[in-house]
A and B are shown apart, each in its own frame.
Chain A
C-alpha cells in the first residue's frame, strides 16, 4: 500500500466552480500535512499547510481528518490559473524529516 494515495483526476471544471478532492495516508503517526502545487514542467511549490482545525487561504480550504486518515482540499471560485497538479504531502513521525508525496491530482479549469 502506498503511503499517500490520491485520486489522479483529472478534474475538469468551468471557471467559477468549486472543486474538492481528498488524499489518504497510511501512517497514523504522521505529524505534518501539506498541499503542494506543481505546474506543468515546473517544480512543486507549497500551497498550504494543513492543520488539525482546518484552515483557509483565500479561495483554498484544507481539512484534516486524523481518525479516517485523510486530507482534503477545496478550491472555491476556480480560476484558469488554478489549473495544475496538486500534491498531497505527509511527513512521518516527530523527528522524521522525510516528505511522502502523493502522485498528484490534476485539475483543469476551463473558460
Chain B
C-alpha cells in the first residue's frame, strides 16, 4: 500500500486566501484524522471521521476551518479565509479499529505558510 497520501506537500499563500488540503487514507481504513502541529502547541487533533462521518470536531479552531470526507478514499481540510497564525504542518492519519488497537498511520504532511 502507498500509505496515507497528502497534497500539496508545501503551500504558501497570502492572508485571506482559501486553502484546501487533501488526504487519501490507506485503503480499507475506516478512521481518518486531521492534525495540526506547531512548535508552540505540538500535535493537536482537529477532527476525525469514522466511515466518512465526522465524529468529533471539537479541535477545529474556529469557523474558518472545515473538513469533509465525501467518500472512503478522500478527505479535505479547508481554511477560508487563511490567517498567518494558521501556519503549521497539517497531518492526516488513518487507522482501522478491527485490530483492537488505534494505531494511526500518518501522511507526510502539508507545510502551510500564510504570509
Residues of A bordering B, CB below 8 Å: 32, 34, 42-46, 49, 87, 91, 97-104
Q: Given known contacts A43-B107, A43-B108, is B102 in contact with A97 (CB within 8 Å)?
A: yes
State the majority secondary structure of interface residues on B: strand
Interface residue ranges of B38-67 to A (CB < 8 Å):
42-43, 45, 48, 50, 55-56
State the majority secondary structure of interface residues on A: strand
- In the complex, the 6 A-B pairs of residues with the closest C-beta atoms, listed nearest first: A43-B106, A101-B43, A103-B42, A97-B102, A44-B106, A43-B108
A32, A42, A101, A102: the one contacting B102 at CB < 8 Å is A32
Interface assignment of B12: CB less than 8 Å from any CB of chain A? no
Q: In whole angstroms, what is the CA distance A34 to B101 when docked?
A: 10
CB distance from A57 to the nearest CB of B (A): 14
Q: What residues of A have a CB within 8 angstroms of the CB of B105 in the complex?
A: 46
